[in-house]
Amino acid sequence: MTKIAVVIKSEPYSDESVYTGLKFVKSALSEGHNVEVFLVQGGVFCALSKQNPKDMPNLYSLLEQLISDGARIVCCGTCVSSRGIDTTMIHPNVEIGSMQIFVEMIASSNSSITF
């Protein structure tokens, strides 16, 4: 199958972009694709633990499921740092990455999509 790079830059719960992106990842994984996700800008908040949304799907739980299903998830380290996020607050299986990793992820994929 193909390798797909998914970029999530929207903040969780601000609209349906992140939920749609994560559901896209779930569908791609279920079809056997290799999927890598780069969380950038406000998208880094998706990886924060202790999310407790009211009347909305818990995106952290969905992220956990995607990791279990084989997705590679990487957070932009600069975005994490500039938002004052302590890395201990991020899912333990989410990598803290760099622009070099981001470039490699996009360059090595067969296709990419941004949410």
pLDDT for the residue 89: 93
Indicate yes or no: pTM above 0.75.
Answer: yes
pLDDT for the residue 55: 86
Q: Indicate the fold that domain 3-114 takes in CATH.
A: Hypothetical Protein Ychn; Chain: A, (3.40.1260)
pLDDT for the residue 29: 98
pLDDT for the residue 52: 86
- Residue by residue, pLDDT tens for the chain (115 residues) are 899 999 999 999 988 999 999 999 999 999 999 999 999 999 999 999 988 888 889 999 999 999 999 999 999 999 999 999 999 999 999 999 999 999 999 999 999 999 9
Domains of the chain, by residue range, sit at: 3-114
Contacts of residue 90, defined as CB under 8 A and 6 or more positions apart, other chains included, come to 44, 47, 48, 49, 75, 80, 96
pLDDT for the residue 50: 86
Q: Are 24 and 113 in contact (CB under 8 A)?
A: yes
